[in-house]
Structure 1
Amino acid sequence: MFYPVQYEGQEQSENIFYTGAAPNQQAIPAVEYLMSPEGGSAERFVLLGTDYVYPRTTNQILRAFLQSKGVADSDIMEEYTPFGFSNYQTIVSNIKNFATGKKTAVISTINGDSNVPFYRELGNQGIDAADIPVMAFSVGEEELRGIDTSALQGHLAAWNYFMSVKNPTNNDFTKKYKQYALDNNLPNADNVVTNDPMEATYVGINMWKQAVEDAGSTDVDKVRISMGGQTFAAPSGYTLKMDAENHHLWKPVMIGQIRPDGQFDVVYKTPEVIQASPWSQYIPK
């Protein structure tokens, strides 16, 4: 079984291969970027998410991480909303007041359709990315496709892959997917996009193929052993590796800035892939 999306960590199974990011491959590097001069030197943080396990656990990790960096509890605002929430007027007003006096950034683990009214309300209240940048962990090319991105322009997202990265492998990957969409009459085939979970799935399937070939069998136990240590030249432009011990991919981290066309300008990326830490040091064992 593959798990191709980012998640909160705190688990590990011999029967699962995690091709999405662990918190140290997305959440923590994103906050480190916001704290850096390049990311705006944020001193105050809003942890805003949808009320379920991924945002709650991720923010537990981030709160402890921020405290380890000397950020006081009074400089951390944490709030959760139900699935499908759309009335962000009061929350955005509170964020605006909270940001007074110190450079502030929002860490967003808002899920799905609720992102649109949130960003719209930021615009309604005159807050743009230069004032209070939003770093999203669940907003990518697919979420931005076909919507008005005027309220989102300049805000940030942290992933391990963006469609806009330039390299021959990604050029081939995106072209093949677009042709597949056209050939199979997929909905909106003319403007399909690739994104991080798609790349993670693509890498996982290809690693499974390599593992089957190396094992000379599709037997589950043999393939499981063969998967450990597999490498693959990914569309991200990096060679990814499957960790034989914890079954998580070694992945790069990228920070993208939202463009008017719904794509991302990559403003930061790690020089090398990062080993996943599924069990966070910031949560007591």
Structure 2
Amino acid sequence: MAPATQPLTETTAIRRADGESRSLAASLPRLMLEARRIAANVIHGVHGRRRAGAGESFWQYRRFVSGEPSQNVDWRRSARDDHLYVREQEWEAAHTLWLWPDRSASMAFASRGVRDSKLERSLIVTFALAELLVAGGERVGVPGLMNPTSNGNVIDKIAQAMLHDSAPRPSLPSSFVPTALAEIVVLSDFWSPIAEIRGLIAGLSASGAHGTLVQVVDPAEETFPYSGRVEFVEPESGEVITTGRAESWAQDYVARVAAHRDAIRAETGKLGWLFTTHTTSRSAAELLLYLHAGLMASKAGSPGVKVGRSA
């Protein structure tokens, strides 16, 4: 919940939603530029399977086998020897990865002194991760918004799809059926009831897909730094709660947040999914590195990044 000075009426909500959509449209160029800058600073590459197959990276030369089509011969290499050679490429399996940033009303919150709102940070990381993955030969999609693509202009495609999206903004992704080997990354504040989060994980993992949940929070949502008389408004429903001594809520609030996270961690752990938290006062690049490393480890078939707090 965020501090408020007046109840959120329907008219106020409509005006605020319109203003936020226009603000997002105006800020997208900055977010896209920031995402590209961060992505460019992350050392990455296509991680092959170390076996012959379809791909663009050279792996090895091997002797030509009688009966093979003659067009397989690499004549330039063969001219240097008394044997015929075939040039083999390294097999690279394009992964399908689904990225879903929460664009609901609660994500627009940013406390005083914080540069990015939760929404802006989620979009920056989504854009940058999509750029990295596509550059590495993967296919990236956004559930309910954009089918998987390996297009080099993936950031522009996602941004345009969002700008033209008039659908409601749910706090959790709508149900869809990913392929068995797909990877899913959901960035949200995850303040939804644990039953809804449990249902999300169960539904998405039913086909065998693997996922990572990233709880993106504002520093104020970590520490509850309020005191005195404060009005809080629930962004999704407009419900207003007023307290005369906000500081008296801090201890219980921190305990509830810890319990909620433990519950999410328990649900993800049952299915081998990952759960981490990210505070918007930290570096977006650190979260990007964490996610990229985890996804590449999963693709290679090695153990994923251990559950814990991200940078």
Please give the range of the TM-score, normalised by the shorter of the 2 chains: 0.3 to 0.5
Larger RCO (CA within 8 A; separation ≥ 6): 1
**TM-score normalised by structure 2 residue count:** 0.32
* Structure in which a larger fraction of residues adopt helix: 2
**TM-score normalised by structure 1 residue count:** 0.35
